[in-house]
Chain A
């Protein structure tokens, strides 16, 4: 059974989300503070983490950062705040997706399913060996779920890895933000900032000079492409 950790300080919202998620077939657990959530995730890692941004004590941004230190679990922010600043900050901290309250349970579970597809896709069950894709000293091996730069393993989250694979499979071709949103996040129409922030995070990890990318380049007004 897929497990979900809900870090939410509002008791009623937490209870209602747990009830609804259990109804949808998830093994859902709650935490009222970031500290409690971090402890729970370390002791008994869940498959997904839902986190609110406004938490007493340690806030949601810091909570995401701390989880990300040693965990690539998909993190979805569920917040009443919808200004650009918060969304970008949460994604930069390491969140995979962002939904604004109130979110319908159907929509929330659809987001989780999209993330699960990605999580599975990261470890494809194909028998045929998938070749390692190489770009200069950058190597992406879809089968092993590994990224190496100059031979050293680079730690990326599952969403970052999925994004990189998508770009690597279409190396040399431009993918628009909408195409990436659809293929990586499963959105028909979504927030393009998701793509931009994830590309930014990826560049920090794979580019020698993230300010002047040589692998993952932006084509203004069109999208992104991975240089052959």
Chain B
């Protein structure tokens, strides 16, 4: 048995997609929130800063104006008298000459021509400039006549605040996106839990455990799913049981007439030598077919009841294999017990005996006779291998060969087949292996032929 083959190109799973969508949504939301709040904060802080700067500049300009309103004003002294703190720097332009508290040549160059003209024309103005690579706010206030007053407000601190804010908001956005992803993962796990339960139950049912059901009481929203699922399994189990019983009943009903046929044909066979050729041939055909019919009915009955677990006991499998060989007129020396494999296994004797006999019969019918019967161990599993010298089994038939009644097709594909098999031999082998929790398979034998193997777990200590 094989599981469903995974598609060549896999689409992203539902869970991954939901998680990604949650993450993307959370990121989008958090990013836009961060952007908007950054912008609003920046604007309001900037406006506030500008208003303060303008107010301070006007105040300072009034002081300067008063200081200059003397006959012989000491410009530098006037500027020094200003209480500008650390973040403001004053500039005075009188008749095109710049005055500052310190020799600050670079500063004067920072005042744009446009602003000078505007302020020179008697208009107070505000402009953002860069001084020494730092953002600054430049406020120009016309004093009187040819004198204009400027103040350079450093915005460095504010810029740093904005940077910190941007950093914080970005971090928050990332964390929110991550939380979104986690939420999506968790929600899908929760949301998919009923589906997981359905999948688990379906797997159990596929493995033959027809009593597996969903718990209908877990979630009111999923009652319909569990009810209809359970109903489906009930129907399925009932149908399988009906089919099984039908097969068993039919087989049992066939037993009585077959007993008459078997006894009567033995009478016919005993008088073979008194028949003419045609009658003898016909009687021989009838005898052969009754024999096959008997085996078919027995196999069908075995198959109908063999899906129960194995009743294990300690069995000398090596002896069983030798006896099976001798019964088929094969040398007992075919049987090889590999080193380290005990003779006694914990298995159901009837089933393992039938596995051996059916594999030998299969090798005789389709594989030009068995060449080796190997008993080995694989962990706690006993492994039975039967090698034959036939044409082997083509890869495409290696699974179907263990189905019921595929003898016709498979035998044809193998190019041999005398047609006296029941078509159930290998199906029984597979079912007996499954009853032990094991597997069956066929591979190429190195050097030609087929190698059938049966694994019986739990049969060795």
Contact = CB atoms under 8 A, between A and B. Distances in A.
A78 B263 CA distance: 13
Contact of B263 (A16, A81, A178, A191): A16
B323 A13 contact: no
Interface string A130-152: 00000000000000000000000
Nearest to A80: B255
Most chain B Cβ neighbours within 10 Å, of A17, A23, A101: A101
B270 interface: yes
Contact of A10 (B256, B297, B301, B313): B256
Contacts of A12: 257, 260
Contact of B264 (A19, A82, A178): A19
A16 B264 contact: yes
B353 interface: yes
Contacts, number: 71
A81 B301 CA distance: 11
Given A80-B255, A101-B258, A20 B266 contact: yes
Interface residues on A, range: 20 to 34
A68 to B, nearest CB: 25
A192 B267 CA distance: 32
Interface in B236-275: 252, 255-264, 266-267, 270
B116 to A, nearest CB: 112
B320 interface: yes
Contact of A105 (B255, B262, B314): B262
Interface in B261-294: 261-264, 266-267, 270, 291, 294
Contacts of B255: 80, 100-102
A80 B262 CA distance: 14
A89 interface: no
Identify the interface centre among B262, B264, B297, B320: most chain A CB within 10 Å of its CB: B262
B314 A13 contact: no
A15, A178, A192 interface centre (most CB from chain B within 10 Å)? A178
B259 A102 contact: yes
Contacts of A103: 259, 262
A173 B212 CA distance: 48
A23 B267 contact: yes
Contacts of B48: none
Given A80-B256, A189-B353, A102 B267 contact: no
Contact of B262 (A10, A23, A102): A102
B314 A221 contact: yes
Given A189-B353, A221-B314, A222-B314, A102 B266 contact: no
Interface in A180-228: 188-189, 191-192, 221-222
B327 interface: yes
6 contacts: A23-B270, A101-B259, A178-B349, A188-B327, A189-B320, A192-B313
Given A15-B260, A101-B259, A189-B353, 6 more contacts: A16-B260, A20-B264, A23-B266, A102-B294, A178-B349, A189-B349
Interface of A: 10, 12-13, 15-17, 19-20, 23, 78, 80-82, 100-106, 178, 188-189, 191-192, 221-222
Nearest 7 CB-CB pairings of A with B: A16-B263, A102-B258, A80-B255, A105-B266, A20-B263, A101-B259, A102-B259
